[in-house]
């Protein structure tokens, strides 16, 4: 299997499964602290793309179509109770694309889609960082301030990290939006107060992609507010999912 999905905590009586999609270069461990932070009524699951963490050495995926082809059969067996998707940055684009694919297949729809630090797909930036030299890629990582300097300066670590970053950026940068049916689920978008104002200004365009309602929440921090403002992110998610009807009788 090219992609894995697994629970971060097994909660058989939880009302909702929350599938979490990491940002470019990230893995399931991005969400390792979420189980303790989320209420017992939410069962967190993490999506793991190949080439990182416990999937080190597995062939990388470089196109959204390949990601979806690998992801759909892994996710569908676990959609047997109410579920929601959360994705940050690249993960938001993957989560939206998967939601659209599942709806097209009539395989279910999340009760809510959470997209975080992710531009709406119809206004993607035209960048090609994935095609740059190693030096250019390292400088871009440095400018994003998400990778510790000691990692950037370690040739062995960078030999492992750069191919993953390059592949993930290729997924995002080669993605092309096409018109299609609106999603039926509501979308909640998160953006950081210190993110690029031009990007924040277009976040409401996520609302044009669903018939299910939209809201935008601004949280303190830059692009990686996912970490710096994690309690606020988790609280927002928990509050919106608390209204989801329980599955079955208890």
Active site residues: 89
- Joined together, the tokens standing for residue 70 give 């690998």
- Is residue 220 a contact partner of residue 142, using CB atoms and an 8 Å limit? no
Distance CA 59, CA 63 (A): 13
* Burial class, 201, CB count within 10 angstroms (exposed 0-12 / middle 13-18 / buried 19+): exposed
Distance CA 214, CA 73 (A): 28
Rg (CA), the chain: 17
């Amino acid at each position: 299997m090219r992609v894995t999905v697994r629970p971060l905590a097994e909660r058989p009586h939880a009302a909702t499964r929350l599938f979490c999609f990491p940002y470019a270069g990230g893995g399931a461990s991005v969400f390792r602290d979420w189980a303790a932070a989320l209420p017992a009524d939410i069962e967190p699951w993490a999506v793991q793309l190949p080439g990182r963490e416990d999937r080190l050495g597995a062939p990388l995926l470089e196109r959204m179509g390949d990601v979806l082809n690998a992801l759909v059969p892994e996710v569908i067996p676990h959609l047997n109770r109410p579920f929601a998707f959360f994705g940050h940055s690249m993960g938001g684009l993957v989560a939206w694309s998967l939601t659209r694919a599942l709806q097209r297949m009539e395989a279910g729809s999340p009760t809510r889609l959470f997209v975080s630090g992710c531009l709406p797909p119809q206004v993607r930036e035209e960048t090609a960082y994935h095609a740059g030299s190693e030096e250019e890629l390292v400088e871009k990582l440095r400018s994003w301030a998400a990778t510790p300097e000691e990692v950037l300066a370690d040739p062995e670590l960078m030999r492992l990290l750069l191919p993953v970053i390059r592949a993930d950026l290729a997924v995002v940068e080669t993605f092309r939006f096409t018109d299609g049916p609106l999603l039926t689920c509501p979308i909640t978008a998160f953006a950081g107060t210190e993110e690029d104002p031009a990007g924040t200004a277009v976040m409401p365009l996520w609302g044009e992609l669903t018939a299910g309602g939209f809201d935008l929440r601004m949280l303190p921090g830059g692009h990686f507010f996912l970490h710096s403002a994690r309690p606020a992110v988790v609280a927002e998610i928990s509050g919106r999912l608390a209204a989801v009807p329980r599955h079955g009788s208890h």
